């Protein structure tokens, strides 16, 4: 009878299987970036129990990979790269609650042999053995590209659920007992068939027994380095670049997500321009805009830090604007124009005012930038927070203690009023040869709402006054979210919208 036997086995993947699995990928997904050997080796080394293959007649015809996570620690719209640590699963958490499936492959020549079902059953049994709460997967929808012109991803998924459309992956996963939690965009960029969309799905282990009564709370920390920048005479743009790079290097060494520089700190360049008229000096300063942008873009990428590049005077169509730039560590750039020019800026420099309130997406959530005087107008912060901002960065430049305290008190007020973090970064020192920039006063800091979940006095950290230094502090976006929902006071929720509102007008500006 042995000549009629067909041996099929589900087992854990071994190192000697890697070449076969890489070849299997090329047969299953010829148009997608394949596994690297070091990724598969990392899977086996870190979590061998979670890597399965199906061997039929001494040939690997299916495989799947997975890791354990505490899913509450990940963003709802996470990507495949984030949840797998770029395919290396070094974020595997043996104490986590969820088995996360990151890939399933079945050889096209061996489909309809329940290969995929066998792999899913192996995962379910592993979840039971390890007493895991659930299995979560980000599922492809490979037939969606055929329907994208006529329906949204949500409509497509609903049609598949109703069995009016067949999708080879989603239809199968629904039959395996998985339920749809949400649709993630940009999940797998090279999945052209799915238009990069994926269905986040979950199978719940009904045999799960809670491991303890302890409640684990998620955390979403962001590390910020605010630079209290010393204004001193320099002889060239190179001197400026070296001073700036030093601080970016320091911020990077501290593992900072953001490095924040002060308002118009590039006026330090005016110390070697030898132009006495302030209005002409800033126009000469504006000619350094390209070098300024090139410098900070390079530093953000090289040191892997998002940089709030203080602010810089920029000339556009004959007008001079005070502009703050966000240099993301992925090399992209955004800018926020100062909306309110101070009487001093108008008198000495003729600064033009911006008209838009921006909120920027970053890899650490949504942020806003409000330059110095702008933080003294509470409507701007309210609008930014309503647009989703969790952190408001405030580059500032003040020449006396009264001016500094106006910025400081308003920044702390905005943190309380809007349940948001605010960050001040100011200039110190003096530029004795620069008209209207001769003295500086600052005490930079990082501020939080005032409630039990936050540091005492709402101060995450602050510098001593008028010394060249930095302040580094961690702010937690998850703590902020919980405080907004269940804090001692909930200013965002408790506003009497039936009585008043803040409205942003749309200006027609040529």
pLDDT in tens, 370-423: 999 999 999 999 999 988 899 999 999 999 999 999 999 999 999 999 999 999
* Residue 428, strand partner residues: 230
Place of tokens 């990077």: 252
pLDDT at position 268 is 94
pLDDT in tens, 189-243: 889 999 999 999 999 999 999 876 555 566 789 999 999 999 999 999 999 999 9
Q: Do residues 46 and 92 lie in contact, with contact meaning Cβ atoms separated by under 8 Å?
A: yes
- Angle at CA of residue 192, ends 188 and 197, nearest 5°: 50
146 in active site = no
Q: Do residues 36 and 21 lie in contact, with contact meaning Cβ atoms separated by under 8 Å?
A: no
Q: What is the mean pLDDT of each run of 10 residues along the chain (510 residues)?
A: 72 95 92 89 94 94 95 84 89 92 93 91 96 95 94 95 94 94 90 93 93 65 97 95 97 96 96 86 94 96 96 96 96 96 92 95 94 97 93 96 97 97 96 82 97 94 96 95 86 84 72
Query: Which residue in 64, 103, 176, 338 is the catalytic one?
Result: 338
What Cα–Cα distance (Å) separates residue 124 from each residue in 95, 211, 251, 486? Answer: 18, 18, 45, 36
What backbone torsions phi and psi does residue 436 show, to the nearest 5 degrees? 70, 10
Beta strands of 305-457 (E only): which ranges? 306-308, 312-316, 319-327, 333-337, 360-362, 365-369, 391-396, 421-429, 445-447
Query: Which residue in 53, 64, 372, 397 is the catalytic one?
Result: 372
pLDDT at position 217 is 65
Rounded distance between C-alpha atoms, residue 227 and residue 234, angstroms: 18
What backbone torsions phi and psi does residue 135 show, to the nearest 5 degrees? -115, 130
Q: Which domains does the chain have, with CATH numbers?
A: 7-204 (3.40.630.30), 221-494 (3.60.110.10)
- If you compute the radius of gyration of the chain from its CA atoms, what whole number of angstroms results? 28
Give the 3-state secondary structure of 193-226.
CCCCCEEEEEEECCCCCCCCCCCCCCCCEEEEEE
Query: Which residue in 263, 345, 376, 462 is the catalytic one?
Result: 263
> Can you give the length of the chain in residues?
510
Rounded distance between C-alpha atoms, residue 259 and residue 456, angstroms: 24
- The overall pTM is greater than 0.75: no
Quote the percentage of the chain above a pLDDT of 90.
77
Provide DSSP, 333-362: EEEEE-SS--HHHHHHH-PBPP-----EEE
Place of tokens 């409630």: 451
263 in active site = yes
What separation, in Å, do the N-terminal and C-terminal C-alpha atoms of the chain show? 86
338 in active site = yes
Q: Work out whether strand 319-327 and strand 333-337 pair parallel, antiparallel, or are unpaired.
A: antiparallel
Q: Do residues 454 and 479 lie in contact, with contact meaning Cβ atoms separated by under 8 Å?
A: yes
pLDDT at position 320 is 96
Residues 6+ apart with CB under 8 A from 109: 27, 61
| Other beta carbons within 10 Å of 48 | 12
Quote the percentage of the chain above a pLDDT of 70.
96
Rounded distance between C-alpha atoms, residue 270 and residue 246, angstroms: 20
């Amino acid at each position: 009878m042995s000549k009629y036997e067909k041996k099929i086995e589900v087992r854990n993947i071994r190192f000697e299987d890697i070449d076969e699995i890489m070849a299997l990928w090329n047969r299953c997904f010829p148009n997608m970036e394949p596994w690297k050997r070091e990724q598969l080796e990392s899977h086996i080394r870190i979590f061998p129990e979670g890597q399965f293959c199906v061997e039929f007649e001494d040939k690997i015809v299916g495989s799947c990979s997975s890791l354990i996570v505490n899913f509450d620690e990940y963003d709802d719209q996470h990507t495949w790269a984030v949840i797998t640590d770029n395919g290396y699963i070094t974020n595997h958490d043996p104490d986590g609650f969820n088995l996360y499936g990151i890939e399933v492959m079945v050889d096209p020549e061996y489909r309809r042999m329940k290969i995929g079902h066998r792999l899913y059953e192996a995962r379910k049994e592993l979840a039971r053995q390890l007493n895991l709460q659930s299995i979560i997967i980000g599922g492809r929808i490979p037939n969606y590209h055929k329907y994208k012109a006529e329906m949204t991803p949500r409509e497509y998924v609903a049609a598949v659920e109703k069995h009016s459309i067949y999708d080879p992956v989603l239809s199968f996963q629904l039959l395996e007992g998985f339920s749809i939690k949400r649709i993630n965009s940009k999940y797998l960029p090279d999945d052209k068939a799915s238009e990069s969309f994926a269905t986040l799905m979950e199978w719940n282990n009904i045999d799960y027994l809670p491991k303890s009564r302890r409640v684990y709370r998620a955390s979403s920390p962001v590390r910020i380095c605010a630079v209290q920048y010393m204004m001193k005479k320099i002889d060239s743009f190179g001197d400026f670049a070296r001073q700036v790079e030093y601080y970016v290097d320091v911020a990077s060494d501290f593992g900072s997500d953001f490095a924040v520089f002060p308002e118009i700190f590039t006026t330090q360049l005016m110390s070697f321009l030898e132009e006495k008229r302030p209005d002409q000096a800033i126009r000469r300063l504006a000619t350094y805009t390209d070098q300024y942008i090139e410098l900070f873009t390079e530093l953000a990428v090289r040191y892997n830090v998002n940089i709030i590049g203080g602010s810089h005077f920029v000339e556009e169509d004959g007008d001079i604007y005070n502009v703050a730039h966000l240099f993301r560590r992925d090399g992209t750039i955004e800018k926020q124009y100062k909306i309110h020019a101070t009487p001093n800026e108008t008198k000495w420099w003729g600064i033009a005012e911006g008209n838009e309130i921006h909120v920027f997406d970053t890899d650490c959530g949504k942020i806003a930038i409000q330059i110095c005087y702008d933080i003294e107008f509470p409507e701007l912060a309210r609008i930014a927070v309503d647009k989703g901002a969790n952190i408001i960065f405030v580059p500032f430049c003040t020449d006396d203690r009264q001016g500094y305290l106006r910025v400081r008190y308003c920044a702390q007020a905005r943190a309380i009023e809007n349940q948001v973090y605010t960050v001040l970064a100011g200039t110190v020192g003096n530029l004795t040869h620069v008209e209207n920039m001769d003295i500086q006063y600052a005490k930079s800091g990082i501020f939080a709402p005032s409630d039990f979940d936050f540091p005492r006095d709402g101060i995450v950290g602050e510098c001593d006054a008028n010394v060249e230094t930095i302040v580094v502090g961690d702010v937690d976006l998850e703590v902020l979210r919980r405080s907004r929902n269940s804090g001692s006071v909930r200013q965002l929720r408790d506003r009497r919208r039936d009585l008043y509102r803040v409205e942003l007008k749309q200006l027609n500006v040529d």
